[in-house]
Structure 1
């Protein structure tokens, strides 16, 4: 019975990894490709590691599979976010079917900064609302 379960886990993990690879090859732009690679590959790694842990049934292997799964789940979304943000900042073109670009009104392409929570001062300059802290005030 354990062989059947481990076989199913390994097969399902391989299938998710294959679908993630297909997504990277077939999807139209960077952001959708990253979505496919992080979601599919993360689930695929979790299933593969569960199958490996069932195959060996040792505490050391189980601890390592948990560590590998935890590492992938912590690093894949952060890496995808960093790559997506860098790609957006260098000007990658979004897919023509993209319906909404929520960063465009908040992104300054000259300074490569995102502006959020901004309010306009009477002179028309941007001033962030979070600079009200005591540590950010300058002594005169």
Structure 2
């Protein structure tokens, strides 16, 4: 039964990792690709590591450390990549309605002038 539970977690994680790869191919611009890849790969990696913990109970502590590392580094790296893309003026998809960073930049410039 434990092997079945571990297999289900690994299969679910594989589905999310596949969807992350698919998101990288299907999304219209760099920002949505970064978001799709990060969210799906974070969950996919966590599910695969939980599945591995069921297969190898002795590795649980090390796998928890890896899950923690993934939870900390994926969002931070995603933010850094998106911010760098915005700073070098990577174009957004034509369907994007607002650019919150431009709005924030304009408000900051207005406060400096006053």
Q: Could you tell me the TM-score, scaled by structure 1's length?
A: 0.76
> Aligned partners of 1:3, 1:106: CA distance in 2, in Å?
51
Other-structure match for 2:79: 81
Note the C-alpha offset of 1:19: 0.3
> Aligned partners of 1:37, 1:77: CA distance in 2, in Å?
11
Larger Rg: 1
Note the C-alpha offset of 1:87: 0.3
Other-structure match for 2:108: 115
Note the C-alpha offset of 1:27: 0.5
Q: Considering fraction of residues, name the structure with more helix.
A: 2
- Aligned-residue CA RMSD (Å): 1.8
Q: Considering fraction of residues, name the structure with more strand.
A: 1
The structure with higher relative contact order (CA 8 Å, sep 6+) is: 2
Other-structure match for 2:96: 98
> Aligned partners of 1:115, 1:83: CA distance in 2, in Å?
23
Residues 35-54 of structure 1 aligned to structure 2 (within 5 Å) = 35-54=35-54
Note the C-alpha offset of 1:2: 0.9
Residue ranges of structure 1 left out of the alignment (5+ in a row):
109-113, 127-140
Q: How many residues align?
A: 114
Q: Could you tell me the TM-score, scaled by structure 2's length?
A: 0.92
> Aligned partners of 1:84, 1:51: CA distance in 2, in Å?
31
Note the C-alpha offset of 1:82: 0.6
